[in-house]
Chain A
Amino acid sequence: MRLSDCLAFAHQALTRHRGRSSLQLLAVAAAVCSVLLLTALGEGARRYVAAEFAFLGKDLLVMLPGRKQTTGGLPPLGASLRDITLEDMAFLARQLPRVRLAPLVVGNSQIRQGARSRHRPVLGTTMTFFTTHKLRLVAGSPLPDVPATQATPVCVLGAGLAQELFAARSPLGQWIRIDDRRFRVLGVFHSASSNLGWQLDDSLLIPVGSALALYDTQALFRLFIQARDGQPLSPLAQRLEQLMRQRHQGNLDVTLLQPDAMLATFSDIMATLTLAVVGIGAISLLVAGILLMNLSLVSARQRTAEIGLLKALGAPARLILQLLLTEALLLTGLGGLLGLAVGYGLVTLSGWVYPGFPLAIPPWAALAALACALGTGLLFAWLPAARAARLPAVASLRGRL
């Protein structure tokens, strides 16, 4: 029997029970579609968080004050017995001339311009922050290149905040109030990323010296260290710990985080989670497989006479098996394709409805879902098909099992 005959036979068998076949098609399609959507959800979540981290770059280390013995938990929060200060930063800069250092002091302040007032995070830092955090200057100039300890009353607004405070007017050269002090706007920056639950765009930057004076402290909240020229990070982190220990009387009281490594760990966790969710989705494929097996059993029984005739005409058992399996594969293949189409359609649709959280189907998932559907067809149709193929010709012709 040629392939085309085989297909024609299967087609005929499937169209004979239109309702039954289409229900089965639907079941496979629903299962494939649900697997696909769940994968897309997991992948979307992973990409969403990855994008949040992306601005920090692969060559960045973050130093924060404090250290905890228990590992694996949260990084140390709050105050520390010994702060990281601008003097520490100057010391590190002398010892490691090849790296970039950006200090960060974060405060929560009231920002006023005319009658408008907002409560927003104020970031005290230096010009280097523009490089380490990939900020784009939209207008004016960045923070002045002055010694870090110098307090200058100037600021650079995030584009979102500039819009809120000045609407369409140009903020350049204007004065704003941060709590009780006056600052002149030097420029406007834009950044798509967020930090500490805030869009960076909704905050503003002032020189680190001004921030320390404003909040009456000498403690840095974070110190960002950017390696240059593809310098490996782990030895750099060790060297930094060594230097800080030396500077803090032999006590290691800072923690170094590697955002890139954290992101990698997070990606792994998300991948495992996605796999688990997909596994749950695959249960529906199992149920669809059981349905297929059930219907194959029924249809093999109803077609006993037909199979007997084929056998009487000289068809070997292998051919019968092949015919019935073709039928199952055709059904699950079509169902799988339908599921893929609906899945991709829904994902595209959600991209329009929720542009902020783009779902994404990784290419491997589509192929795997289709392969799983075909595999299910083969697996669950095998038993009924094999049983039908083994029937003795005479008994089957008589229409009895």
Chain B
Amino acid sequence: MRPQDGLAWVLKALSRSGSRTLLSALGIAIGIAAVVTLTGIGEGLRGYLLESFSQFGSRVIAITPGVSDNPASPNGLLASSRPLRLEDGDWLRRLPHVQAVIPVISGTGQVKAGRLSRDTSILGTNHEAAAGWRFTLAQGHFLPDEPAQQARPLAVLGHTLAQELFAGQPALGAQVRIGSWRFRVVGVMAPKGQFLGFDLDDMIFIPAGLAQNLFNREGLMELDVIYDAQIPTQVLLGQIDQRLTQRHGRRDFTLYSQEDMLGSLDKILGILSLAIGSLGTVSLLIGAVGIFTIMTIAQQERLTEIGLLRALGASPGLILSLFLAEASLLALLGGLLGLLLWGLLALILHGLWPGLPLDWQLHYLLAALGFSALVGLTAGLLPAVRAMALDPVAALRDE
């Protein structure tokens, strides 16, 4: 039998029982659509989270006061009798390959400009923060490079804050008041968006030394060390650990590298994504059961046909491949239908929640198609083997 004849035979068999074929394919289709959509959501979520975590750059080591082996513990926010100081940052800046050391002291307070005021986040930091954290400026420049003790009261406004306080008026050069202090605005940031529910645009940046006075705090909440690609993270971690331990007389701080954090986050999200994807697999499994059942029935119904083919000289291998081709074609049809369904679903989901990350890549879709064919092949194996093993004489006599 030539391949095209075989294909014609299979196609005829499929189209002869139209509704049955359609329903079996639909079962697979729903399964495939579920798997693809769910994997897409899982992967999209993973990409979104990883991106929002790495938007500040990945070559960052964060130092917080106090020792904690629990990464969930908000170290910087808790009191510590052995604070981290601005001078520690200056000390670390001398390490080779360190590009910047950014101090962080944050809090909330009311910022006033003229008759307008807003309760907002106040971030005490230094001139290196904008470049180090990859923030871009819309107007003016960032905080200048000045020694912490002699820093002038200058401020940079986040996008939202600038709009709320100045509403279209020029903000550069204007005065804002925080508590009883006056600051001159030297820059306005470009919009940056949200980070884990924290609005990065509703914020004012001021020199760290002044923020310490403002909040009446001695220590910093965090020091971020930015380093170049020439030095492995672990080596620098070791150097910082050694330097700071030496300086403080004991290890009274905690180090996190953004790289490690991203790595473990990626692992967790990968597992989550897999779990979400496998939710859809249950449907696909049931779809496979459908193909198996239908192929079994087809084999029983076509006993005479098989007998005739065998009597005409068709080899058992041919029968096997005909049945397998039918099963996988059926599943492939389901896979195609499933992708169609997925496209429709993605459109609807996108229309309902434009923010929902629906990641999709061509190789995913191809993999889904390949997988559906494989499902068909596996589900059709047993009935095909049964058909192959039929005794032609007995099969013919069945009529």
Contacts and interface: CB of A to CB of B under 8 A. Distances in A.
A180 B81 contact: yes
Interface string B5-44: 0000000000000011001101100110010001000000
Contact of A31 (B119, B279, B280, B282): B282
B120 A68 contact: yes
B248 interface: no
A67 B282 contact: no
Interface in A181-234: 196-198, 211, 214-217, 219, 221
A286 B80 CA distance: 57
A81 interface: yes
Contact of B218 (A106, A108, A216): A216
A152 interface: no
B67 to A, nearest CB: 4
A360 interface: no
Contact of B30 (A30, A73, A286, A293): A286
A94 to B, nearest CB: 25
Interface string B157-172: 0001000100000000
B218 to A, nearest CB: 7
A290 B110 contact: no
B79 A217 contact: yes
Contact of B283 (A79, A119, A283): A283
Contacts of A82: 109, 179
A215 B283 contact: no
Interface in A239-296: 251, 253, 277, 280-281, 283-284, 286-288, 290-291, 293-295
A76 interface: yes
Given A280-B34, A280-B280, A290 B290 contact: yes
Interface string A306-332: 000000000000000000000000000
Contact of B296 (A19, A30, A288, A294): A19
A347 B217 CA distance: 51
B34 A106 contact: no
Contact of A198 (B24, B73, B107, B252): B73
Interface string B70-88: 1011111111111000000
A294 B290 contact: yes
Given A78-B77, A294-B23, A294-B24, A83 B216 contact: yes
Nearest to B104: A78
B contacts with A: majority SS = mixed
Contacts of A105: 79
A294 B215 CA distance: 72
A215 B290 CA distance: 68
A171 to B, nearest CB: 22
Nearest to A298: B297
B159 to A, nearest CB: 13
B69 interface: yes
Interface residues of B, number: 69
Contacts of A38: 279
Contacts of A20: 293, 296-297
Q: Which among A34, A65, A70, A196 has the highest number of chain B CB atoms within 10 Å? A: A70
Contacts of B105: 78-79
Interface string B95-119: 0000000000111111000000011
A81 B66 contact: no
Interface stretch (B126-134, B196-204, B255-263): B196-204
B374 interface: no
B214 interface: yes
B286 A81 contact: no
Interface residues of A, number: 63
A121 interface: yes
A291 B121 CA distance: 58
B20 A294 contact: yes
A73 B199 contact: yes
A26 interface: yes
A79 B67 contact: no
B54 to A, nearest CB: 21
A23 B72 CA distance: 47
Q: Which among B73, B81, B106 has the highest number of chain A CB atoms within 10 Å? A: B81
B312 to A, nearest CB: 27
B285 interface: yes
B155 interface: no
A283 to B, nearest CB: 5
Interface in A59-105: 65-70, 73-74, 76-83, 105
A288 B290 CA distance: 8
A162 interface: no
A285 to B, nearest CB: 9
Nearest to B221: A78
Contacts of B198: 73-74
A216 B217 CA distance: 9
Contacts of B307: none
A8 B292 CA distance: 28
A215 B24 CA distance: 70
A197 B293 contact: no
A79 B118 CA distance: 17
B294 interface: yes
A197 to B, nearest CB: 4
B162 to A, nearest CB: 14
Q: Which among A34, A216, A283 has the highest number of chain B CB atoms within 10 Å? A: A283
A396 interface: no
B286 A79 contact: no
B282 A284 contact: yes
A81 B20 contact: no
Nearest to A280: B279
Given A34-B282, A70-B199, A108 B68 contact: yes
B107 A80 contact: yes
A251 B290 contact: no
Given A80-B109, A108-B65, A221 B286 contact: no
B112 to A, nearest CB: 11
Contacts of A121: 73, 78
B1 to A, nearest CB: 27
Contact of A294 (B107, B118, B194, B294): B294
- The list of the 8 closest CB pairs from A to B, nearest first, reads A108-B66, A79-B107, A66-B108, A197-B72, A215-B79, A79-B215, A81-B109, A107-B79
26 contacts: A23-B292, A24-B293, A67-B119, A70-B202, A73-B199, A79-B107, A81-B179, A81-B214, A106-B79, A107-B66, A107-B80, A108-B75, A109-B80, A119-B66, A119-B67, A119-B68, A179-B82, A180-B81, A197-B72, A197-B74, A253-B119, A280-B280, A287-B27, A290-B290, A294-B293, A298-B294
Given A68-B108, A78-B108, A293-B23, 19 more contacts: A19-B296, A30-B285, A68-B120, A69-B202, A70-B199, A76-B107, A78-B76, A79-B215, A81-B215, A107-B66, A108-B73, A119-B69, A196-B74, A219-B216, A253-B109, A281-B279, A284-B283, A290-B26, A291-B289
